[in-house]
A and B are shown apart, each in its own frame.
Chain A
Amino acid sequence: MGAPESKELVGPRATTSLVSRASPLVSTAQQLKTLRQVDLSKLPNQGVFREKLTPAGIDIFQINVGKLCNMTCRHCHVDAGPDRTAEMMSRETVDLCLAALDKTTAKVVDITGGAPELNPHFRYLVEQCVARGKHVVDRCNLTILLAGPYRDLPEWFAARGVEVVCSLPHYRQRNTDLQRGTGTFEKSIEALRRLNAAGYGRGDPRLRLTLMHNPAGAYLSGDQKSMEREWKEGLQANHGVTFDALITLNNMPISRFLEWLEISGNLQAYMELLVNAYNPATVPGLMCRNTLSVGWDGRVYDCDFNQMLELDTRYADGRTAHIRDFDPQQLATRAIVTARHCFGCTAGAGSSCGGAIA
């Protein structure tokens, strides 16, 4: 599959991609089937996600520019990795995204991947969004900022006021390296130091540095505020690193995290945990209600998780949505596509690309 891995691209790895191993879970139908087959019939709602979700207007335009990544984290919901060279957003699709963006009132453009910086049109996309006065978010794995052609990015981002949202599961080494591969923690700290040196994470609202925590296993994220305080103390005292905010996300039971849940014998208990922790107070703030997610090939989804399960956004007449025929008025009347994985966002304090909800 795809081109051979480039040497400079290979960063820390905790595993390899499902695609490279030809795992049955490469099939999104197989993933959905695996989730459906978990017996949750004894739980109060039988494990059926019953909320009928409707869109509340597009505040965040999220663009997933491809699955290529220098890392292969164990919990990745994208199945990204250095071998995923085939799925890469083209310049033409980038321009279609920009044209669609102009039809919306979205204030935020959230760019993700893979490692989004690896897309050859990444800087063009950022420049175009900044020129339109959008608040741009780069979802960054940190280690990419140490790789050859990307080392100037902290200063480049700073000059454009791009918010950097970085994955760092823990302020200590163990859980970071378990999830993201040996050596990740050390590299991440070095990258954070460079972001700090470029002015990030020092309280300047133009240069926001946000850290993102995912649990390193089959449990929910803890209290976001409490953890933020401890992450700040821990990183400052031990590494002299500062940041502005910590957001906490639950792991979605899809893709590589689903594989790990199955192999480790945690799938049943994790699904029970998610369903039992269902919190109705999270529903109004679910990201699928105010975000639109575009895939590398221009297909449109209600969220990045639906994207990875190939659950396309559908217009009210049943057509699947594509960025080339983007129609925000018609999208406003759609029903959001849901399935069992949605319990990942409604569990506990809730989970979204912006962190906890309730």
Chain B
Amino acid sequence: MDTYYRPEHLPKFSSIAQGNQKLADKFFDYYAEVFKAGALSAREKALIALAVSHAVQCPYCIDAYSKESLQQGADLEQMTEAVHVAAAIRGGASLVHGVQMLEHVQRQVMA
């Protein structure tokens, strides 16, 4: 293997069933059910998936959900805002730990 990520792996996703058909069936059934329009529209779910794809930094998912977001009627501005939500949460997740650091400093440093 010359690289860890291969675009041709995405369309082969279902071949993961070779090692355990039952678990794969359960997973893909669940997956399909999750993305059906419900209380949230198909477009909203695609945008959430797009944001999560960036948070988990999955290139397969970014490919798949860029395409799906467009197909479900999102445009570049909506998709960019979704990615910023991921960036804000990731950045915020780092920054909010700063409070732990701050309290550590407050405990250990003479005031």
Contact = CB atoms under 8 A, between A and B. Distances in A.
Contacts of A220: 71
Contacts of A299: none
A163 to B, nearest CB: 23
A36 B70 CA distance: 28
A226 interface: yes
B75 A226 contact: no
Contacts of A225: 37
Given A170-B75, A172-B77, A174-B76, A226 B37 contact: yes
Most chain A CB neighbours (cut-off 10 Å) among B42, B67, B71, B78: B71
A225 B38 CA distance: 12
A226 B71 contact: no
Contacts of B75: 170, 172, 174-175, 216
A226 B74 CA distance: 12
Interface string B11-40: 000000000000000000000000001000
A9 B47 CA distance: 39
A228 B96 CA distance: 40
A333 to B, nearest CB: 39
A216 B70 CA distance: 9
B54 interface: no
A223 interface: yes
Interface string A197-227: 0000000000000000101110111110111
A222 B67 contact: no
Nearest to B43: A230
Nearest to B44: A230
A151 interface: no
A230 B77 contact: no
Is the contact region of chain B dominated by helix, strand, or loop, or is it mixed?
helix
Contact of A213 (B42, B73, B78): B73
A91 interface: no
Interface string B61-85: 0000001001111011110000000
A217 B67 CA distance: 10
A239 interface: no
Nearest to A175: B75
B70 A217 contact: yes
B interface, size bucket: 10 to 19
A220 B71 CA distance: 6
B77 A222 contact: no
Nearest to B72: A222
Nearest to A272: B11
A216 B79 CA distance: 15
Nearest to B37: A226
A223 B77 CA distance: 20
Nearest to A221: B71
A175 B78 CA distance: 11
A186 to B, nearest CB: 16
A230 B41 contact: yes
Nearest to B41: A226
A174 B73 CA distance: 12
A170 B71 CA distance: 12
A227 B69 CA distance: 12
A293 to B, nearest CB: 28
A225 B42 CA distance: 10
B71 A219 contact: yes
A223 B37 contact: yes
B42 A219 contact: no
B68 to A, nearest CB: 8
A227 B43 CA distance: 8
A339 to B, nearest CB: 25
A103 interface: no
Contacts of A175: 75
Contact of B77 (A174, A213, A221): A174
A229 interface: yes
A227 B71 CA distance: 10
16 contacts: A172-B75, A174-B75, A215-B71, A216-B70, A216-B75, A219-B67, A219-B70, A222-B43, A222-B71, A223-B37, A223-B72, A225-B37, A226-B72, A227-B43, A230-B41, A230-B73
Interface of A: 170, 172, 174-175, 213, 215-217, 219-223, 225-227, 229-231
